[in-house]
Amino acid sequence: MTTCWRAPVTSGRWARRAWRPEPPRRRTRRAPRRRRVRVWRVQSAAQANEPSQAAGAAAPVLRAAGLSKRYGKRQVVDGVDLEVRRGDVFGFLGPNGAGKSTTIRMLTGLVRPDAGTVAILGHDLHRRPQQALARVGAVVEAPALYPHLSGDQNLAVLAALSGGASPERRREVLRLVGLEGRAHDRVRTYSHGMKQRLALAQALLPQPELILLDEPTNGLDPGGMVEVRQLIRRLAAEEGITIFLSSHLLAEVEQVCNRVAVIHKGQVLVQGSVPELLQAAPFVTIAATPLEQAREVLAGIAGVRVAATDSGALRVECDPGRIADLNEALVRAGCRVSALVPGRLSLEEFFLDLTGSHP
pLDDT tens for each residue of 344-355: 777 777 777 777
pLDDT of residue 303: 80
- pLDDT class of 45 with cuts at 50, 70, 90: very low
pLDDT of residue 102: 94
Percent of the chain having pLDDT more than 90? 40
Mean pLDDT for 112-133 is 93
Task: Give 238 or 312, the one with higher predicted confidence.
Answer: 238
- pLDDT class of 329 with cuts at 50, 70, 90: very high
Q: In this structure, are residues 154 and 198 in contact, taking their beta carbons and an 8 Å threshold?
A: yes
pLDDT of residue 282: 75
All structural domains of the chain: 62-273 (3.40.50.300), 282-343 (3.30.70)
Mean pLDDT for 121-143 is 90
Note every long-range contact of 77-82, with CB atoms under 8 Å and residues 24 or more positions apart, other chains counting: 77/102, 77/103, 77/106, 77/113, 77/266, 78/265, 78/266, 78/267, 79/115, 79/116, 79/267, 80/116, 80/263, 80/266, 80/267, 80/268, 81/268, 81/271, 82/107, 82/261, 82/268, 82/271
Tens-place pLDDT, residues 171-216: 999 998 889 999 999 999 998 888 989 999 999 988 899 999 988 8
CA pair distance 217, 199, nearest whole angstrom: 12
pLDDT of residue 351: 78
Tens-place pLDDT, residues 266-315: 999 999 988 888 776 678 888 888 988 998 999 888 888 887 666 678 88
What pTM was computed for the model? 0.71
Total number of residues shown for the chain: 359
Tens-place pLDDT, residues 54-84: 444 457 999 999 999 999 999 999 999 999 9
pLDDT of residue 241: 92
The average confidence (pLDDT) of the chain is 82
Give the residue ranges of DSSP H helices in 240-290: 250-256, 274-279
Phi-psi region of 38 (alpha: psi -120 to 50; beta: other; left: phi over 0): beta
Question: Which residues lie across from 337 on neighbouring strands?
Answer: 288
pLDDT of residue 154: 93
pLDDT higher than threshold 90 for residue 319: no
Q: What is the 3-state secondary structure (H, E, C) of 127-145?
A: CCHHHHHCCEEEECCCCCC
In this structure, of 228-232, 237-241, 273-277, the range with the lowest mean pLDDT score is 273-277
